[in-house]
Amino acid sequence: MLHAKKFLTLILTAIVLVTGCSRCLAQSLRDYGDKIGILIGAAVNPSKLTEDAYASTLAREFNMVEPENAMKWAAIRPDQKTFNFKPGDQLVTFAQAHRMKVRGHCLVWQKYNPAWLMNGRFTSEQLSDLLREHISTVMKHYAGQVFAWDVVNEAFDASGGFEHSIWYDSPGIGMAGKGTAYLEQAFRWARMADPKALLFYNDYDAEGLNAKSNAIYAMVKDFKRRGVPIDGVGLQAHIFNLSTKEISSLSDNITRLTALGVEVHITEMDAGLPLDRKGNLINGSDLTKQAEIYRFVAKACLQQRGCTAFQTWGFTDKYSWIPGYTKGTKGMALLFDETYAPKPVYNALREVLQQRAQGLGRGAGP
């Protein structure tokens, strides 16, 4: 009698030979990510983990998770003296149960701050103390559980200057007008709080070579030269048109960043499609264009050893931020539809990962 495992293998092989259904034995994104040594992640709402399809798809397809909002100031610190770690802890517990890494997001941002902080009329000295306390408390709570943090999020404007921020100039932590000094201070506090965590700067519209990405590059170069602790840059990759024109220099940008000795993560990938007033896709061919955008970004990342993570902002169209942000004009931005069925964009990403895995099997270089 054949051993049960061998028998099952024969049956599955027969299915492929008879039906031509190689996808019947398809490996997940996570499977390929594990093979080629890249983290495949998704931003997650911990409250949705009780939904079976959400949790099972997440665990099957991804080896990294990041909270969408659960670790931001407004969620984690409802008042000055209270830290609400419950949602974040729930996500960490899920990740540990499914052998997934957790990416933290985010410690310093001018948005999504609680009313008590924004309206508190704090002095610069008080704000400095609050920020240092916040970074220290949150990072120490998750030490050994969160492997990387977006320490600072979206601090630069489109021209390469600085966004107005309670931390920078309104009233700031005492370093207004001193360029990246307040960012440097945040990174130094973060390293002190958890010396083992990777520390990232994260931003949008900085994927290609432009004024913003140049400013980020200059900051990282300066930080590395002076020994300021920074380990990586997160490129969000929110794509709001069906073209790669604005991100055509993505590979060049990743190359110059990784040459400085930092890692690059694609942190918030999605690509919205035009919808009609009823929320239906206007042009079915846009699904193919969307798939090619994901393929382009994934290939640009995989070409560099220093690009070590590819993450989407959510993973199912059922819970995407895009329709709300665009007032219903765009949507269907993610890998799975509202019923958790994989879309052409999923297949495109999977094919890029599969090709990379096959290339490594043949001894191909980076």
The tens digit of pLDDT for each residue in 198-227 reads 999 999 999 999 999 999 999 999 999 999
Task: Please check the confidence at residue 18 and state whether its pLDDT lies above 70.
Answer: no
Task: Please check the confidence at residue 8 and state whether its pLDDT lies above 50.
Answer: no
Residue 312 pairs with which residues in a beta bridge? 42, 269
What distance in Å separates the CA atoms of residue 357 and residue 363, rounded to the nearest whole number?
10
The pLDDT assigned to 364 comes to 56
- Structural tokens at position 119: 């309206």
Average pLDDT, stretch 74-81?
96
The pLDDT assigned to 291 comes to 98
Q: Is 154 annotated as catalytic?
A: yes
The pLDDT assigned to 360 comes to 79
* Angular region, 37: left φ>0, alpha ψ -120 to 50, beta rest: left
192: amino acid identity, one letter: M
CATH of 29-361, one of 3.40.220.10, 2.130.10.10, 3.40.120.10, 3.20.20.80: 3.20.20.80
Catalytic residue among 61, 66, 68, 154: 154
- Whether omega before 366 lies within 30 degrees of 0, making that bond cis, reads no
What does the DSSP assignment read for 183-252? HHHHHHHHHHH-TTSEEEEEESS-SSSSHHHHHHHHHHHHHHHHT----EEEE--EE-SS-SGGGTTHHH
Q: How far is CA 47 from the centre of its chain?
A: 19
For 75-90, letters b (16+ CB in 10 Å) and e give bbbeeeeeeeeebbeb
Q: Is 68 annotated as catalytic?
A: no
The pLDDT assigned to 115 comes to 97
**Banded model confidence at residue 365, pLDDT cuts 50, 70, 90:** low
Domain-by-domain residue ranges, the chain? 29-361
What distance in Å separates the CA atoms of residue 360 and residue 363, rounded to the nearest whole number?
5
Q: Which residue has the tokens 């495992």?
A: 5
| DSSP 8-class letter at 317 | G
Encode pLDDT of 288-343 as tens digits: 999 999 999 999 999 999 999 999 999 999 999 999 999 999 999 999 999 999 99
Encode pLDDT of 100-150 as tens digits: 999 999 999 999 999 999 999 999 999 999 999 999 999 999 999 999 999
